[in-house]
Structure 1
Amino acid sequence: MLFSYKPLPFATACTAPFSGRYRLHNQIKPGLGPGLLGRRAAWQGLLAGLVLALSACKANQAGPGAAARLASTEVGRPFDPAAVRPQLALAPTQVLVLGLTHLDTAPANFQVSWLEPVLCRLRAYKPDVILTEAMSGEQVMALDAYAAYHGTAGRYAGPTLSMAKAAQADLKLTASQALVEANSLCQKGGLTPANRRHLASLFVAAAEPFSATVQWMRLAPAERIAADGVSPALVKTLNSFAGLRNEIVSMAARVAADVGLERLYGAGDHLSDVASPSSEAMKAVVAAEPGLTDLFNHNTPEFRAVPEEAMKLAAASEIMSVFKWKNSLRFGRLDADAQCQSMLRSDKAGRTGRQWVAAWEAQNLRMAVAIREATAPIAGGRALLIVGAAHKPYVEAYLRTFADVELVSVPAMLEAKPAGCAE
């Protein structure tokens, strides 16, 4: 006799013991007879029914916790964009993050010429893109447009904003129009002195005065005149900018001009300032946790062991040692712990401390994003960021998560001895 199957009602089938989910009936399948073919067909039908029933049961039992149960059984590592880096078809994009003490805080006797051993090595690195802690013109204008929300943009970039608005009026262009025209002119190549003067005026109108300074530096002194969109007042301003004693001009713009780049890129951020706690709230935190002051000022045994007091850029002989220290892994860990992680460990800092760290992380994330965007057109090339040393460990940590970014060791770069570079 052949066996056929008859499914139980669905609810019963999904809850009954497996062996009882199907009742076997003693009946002959019509037209098959008692032969082998009939028996094979019967068993195939039975198996098909079992498969369908099991599928239905699983679907019925999935419920809201099924996804969580499935996730808990997954094996392997979470997705990591940087994991593909060893498999890149071409060489990765290199990024060198040079951390420093802001040069405008250096002692009065500091001389820009003392930086030459560092500048020489940066020129030997041959960056394709140079970024600084200055804000981009786009962000400056955005802050100004949203002044009711962010506060007066002039507190971050007063001269930049006033220069931009004056140049926009002279050229009858908006900041964005000036930037589009400037980028187009940069792509032209073979720029004449007249082109460079016009390009300088466009960059000023686009709220990119440090890129204008690069153009001004690339002009011979006799060509730095009021013409081609540059007014007499702007000549004075650009001459003043070119002589500023800060890392944006004395290092970034100088190297850009020396290696033949047309502009700088701003990686600085103040959009995230709206996330920061008020100064009154931070003062209350420091008052409640006096030990934070020593940490912020590096007045700890770990920092005193260096000692940092002997590294103030007060002599030419200090330059290399200061830059090596500020870019060391040890400094990065100690400074990040003192400035940020200490507040996360403090009960008294509470949510205010955590809010401050959140804003700091957001600021550094935006800086890393600016670098990634600037390096997109130069895949496999070299980028340089010159930035305050406190930013370096955070920016580098975020850059390590990108697929096509390879960090360059600053200490190794400083230890190198390119031809023509002094010790």
Structure 2
Amino acid sequence: MAGLRRSTLVALGLALFAGAALADPPRQDYRPSFQPDRLKGPAAGKPNEVLVLGTMHLSDLPDSFRPDMTAPLVERLASWRPTAVATEDMSGLQCDSLRRYPSRYAETVKDYCPDTVAAGKATGLDVPAANAEAERLLADWPAAPSAAQRRHLAALFLAAGERGSALVQWLRLPEGERRAGDGLNAELAALLDKLKDRRNESYLIAAPLAARLGLERLWSVDDHSADSPGPVDEKAYEAAIRRAWDNPAAHARRAEDDRLEAGLFRPDGLMAMYRAYNAPGVPMQVYLSDFGAALEEPSPQAFGRSYVGYWETRNLRMAANIRDVLGRRPGTRLLAIVGSSHKGYYEAYLNQMHDVTLVDVNAVLQ
């Protein structure tokens, strides 16, 4: 009997232990043994190199900013000789896809997707057809295309929802050839003339750089497929995230932005901003002020964790889009221009790729 009682007690004890373990599992320190970032290759051949430039959004800068201030930055970036330039724009194809799901993406399309109706009418092509035709032409693009060919390709890119690439073609034309014709009507030609001076990093930095280097297009790698209409209680969500953002790291970050903007009028003011935005400690400051703070936000609805989930998903998909570009032509030197809050995530995720070598942008900015 005593033996039976002891075995019964042991069984009960094990059951209680198992129940406790299920109810409150211990934190684990498991790390996978497979680490892709340590398996770089190939041993022979030209590597894929990626230079990530963290940027402020030029549209947010004070009135003291002038478009010509970007010239020294373009000069330094050109010295690195990228063979591809990626921008924080949504592709025309993704915009076309999101337009088909308005109950979820109506606001996203309104905020981030250019209107292609006028270009579609001028070319007779919808977004997928215009993309396909542009790709077909570029696959057999001559070394010295005529002005008519460039105007036609610019019109196709506008119909494809790729305004940055259309501007590259416009800037590659001699000024006297920047006119309507060959699929570009007067309305579209006027649009391209306006885009070249718009306060936007894709138009003032990426497109002029690509045109200067003899590239034919930009690569739109932003992704908003994780967007959604928002939580049921949007006011509570916004209040919770704003409380999380009210922290010392965020205050220090805003003070630094104010200091940099105050010096923007100086001869080297914009370059000073870019050096500061790309300093080694910035990604951690971004995390502490924003996503790390949101991760610990204590609302019962876990608003902060949902916000961080969206942010990580978006950056993973953006990094995947860059990897896709690199896979098209191995040995690419790609410049990725992206909002500075993305920079740390870009580099961390891209560094996991076997065939991606990161380059320090700070050496280029000096």
TM-score range, shorter chain: 0.7 to 0.9
> Residue in 2 aligned with 1:155?
110
> Residue in 1 aligned with 2:228?
274
C-alpha distance in 2 between matches for 1:277 and 1:318: 40
Indicate if the aligned counterparts of 1:365 and 1:398 stay in contact, CA closer than 8 A. yes
> Residue in 2 aligned with 1:407?
358
Asked if residue 229 in structure 1 is aligned to residue 183 in structure 2, the reply is yes
Q: 1:124 to 1:333 in 2, by over 3 A?
A: same
> Residue in 2 aligned with 1:98?
53
> Residue in 2 aligned with 1:146?
101
Q: 1:87 to 1:172 in 2, by over 3 A?
A: closer
> Residue in 2 aligned with 1:283?
238
Asked if residue 251 in structure 1 is aligned to residue 205 in structure 2, the reply is yes
The offset of 1:208, in angstroms, is 0.7
Indicate if the aligned counterparts of 1:326 and 1:332 stay in contact, CA closer than 8 A. no
Q: Secondary structure at the match of 2:246?
A: helix
> Residue in 2 aligned with 1:180?
132
> Residue in 2 aligned with 1:310?
259
C-alpha distance in 1 between matches for 2:229 and 2:187: 38
Indicate if the aligned counterparts of 2:108 and 2:227 stay in contact, CA closer than 8 A. no
Q: Deviation string for 1:386-415 (max 9, x for gaps)?
A: 111001011111101111111110111112
> Residue in 2 aligned with 1:389?
340
What are the ranges of 5 or more consecutive residues in structure 2 without an aligned counterpart? 1-30
2:293 to 315, 331, 342: 342
Structure with bigger RCO (C-alpha 8 Å, 6+ apart):
2
Q: 1:353 to 1:185 in 2, by over 3 A?
A: same
> Residue in 1 aligned with 2:8?
none
- The one-letter amino acid of 2:51's match is L
Q: 1:342 to 1:275 in 2, by over 3 A?
A: farther
C-alpha distance in 1 between matches for 2:86 and 2:310: 21
Instruction: Give TM-score scaled by structure 1 length.
Output: 0.74
2:282 to 331, 334, 338: 331
Q: Secondary structure at the match of 2:53?
A: strand
Structure of greater Rg = 1
Percentage of matched positions with identical amino acids? 34
C-alpha distance in 1 between matches for 2:42 and 2:171: 41
Q: Deviation string for 1:20-44 (max 9, x for gaps)?
A: xxxxxxxxxxxxxxxxxxxxxxxxx
> Residue in 2 aligned with 1:362?
313
Q: Deviation string for 1:216-255 (max 9, x for gaps)?
A: 1111111111110111111111111112121110000010
- The one-letter amino acid of 1:119's match is V
> Residue in 2 aligned with 1:293?
246
- The one-letter amino acid of 2:35's match is D
> Residue in 1 aligned with 2:24?
none
> Residue in 1 aligned with 2:28?
none
Q: Secondary structure at the match of 2:52?
A: strand
Indicate if the aligned counterparts of 2:54 and 2:277 stay in contact, CA closer than 8 A. yes
Q: 1:153 to 1:339 in 2, by over 3 A?
A: closer
Indicate if the aligned counterparts of 1:276 and 1:359 stay in contact, CA closer than 8 A. no
Indicate if the aligned counterparts of 2:241 and 2:294 stay in contact, CA closer than 8 A. no
Q: 1:309 to 1:349 in 2, by over 3 A?
A: farther
RMSD of aligned Cα (Å): 2.2
The offset of 1:96, in angstroms, is 0.7
Q: 1:166 to 1:245 in 2, by over 3 A?
A: same
The offset of 1:86, in angstroms, is 5.4
The offset of 1:77, in angstroms, is 5.6
C-alpha distance in 2 between matches for 1:277 and 1:395: 27
- The one-letter amino acid of 1:223's match is E
Instruction: Spell out the pairing of 1:370-389 with structure 2 (5 A cutoff).
Output: 370-389=321-340
Q: Secondary structure at the match of 1:315?
A: coil
Indicate if the aligned counterparts of 1:276 and 1:355 stay in contact, CA closer than 8 A. no
Instruction: Spell out the pairing of 1:15-54 with structure 2 (5 A cutoff).
Output: none
Q: Secondary structure at the match of 1:130?
A: strand
C-alpha distance in 2 between matches for 1:87 and 1:259: 27
Q: 1:372 to 1:385 in 2, by over 3 A?
A: same
Q: Secondary structure at the match of 2:336?
A: strand
Q: Deviation string for 1:331-358 (max 9, x for gaps)?
A: 1111122110111123247511000000
- The one-letter amino acid of 1:192's match is S
The offset of 1:211, in angstroms, is 0.7
Q: Deviation string for 1:351-379 (max 9, x for gaps)?
A: 11000000000111111011101111231
Q: Deviation string for 1:153-178 (max 9, x for gaps)?
A: 542235x12xx122222222221111
What are the ranges of 5 or more consecutive residues in structure 1 without an aligned counterpart? 1-75, 416-423
Indicate if the aligned counterparts of 1:132 and 1:386 stay in contact, CA closer than 8 A. yes
Q: Secondary structure at the match of 1:271?
A: coil
C-alpha distance in 2 between matches for 1:355 and 1:109: 37
Q: Secondary structure at the match of 1:335?
A: helix
Instruction: Give TM-score scaled by structure 2 length.
Output: 0.85
Asked if residue 261 in structure 1 is aligned to residue 215 in structure 2, the reply is yes
Q: 1:86 to 1:376 in 2, by over 3 A?
A: closer
Q: 1:271 to 1:87 in 2, by over 3 A?
A: closer
The offset of 1:150, in angstroms, is 1.7
> Residue in 1 aligned with 2:174?
220
C-alpha distance in 1 between matches for 2:247 and 2:221: 29
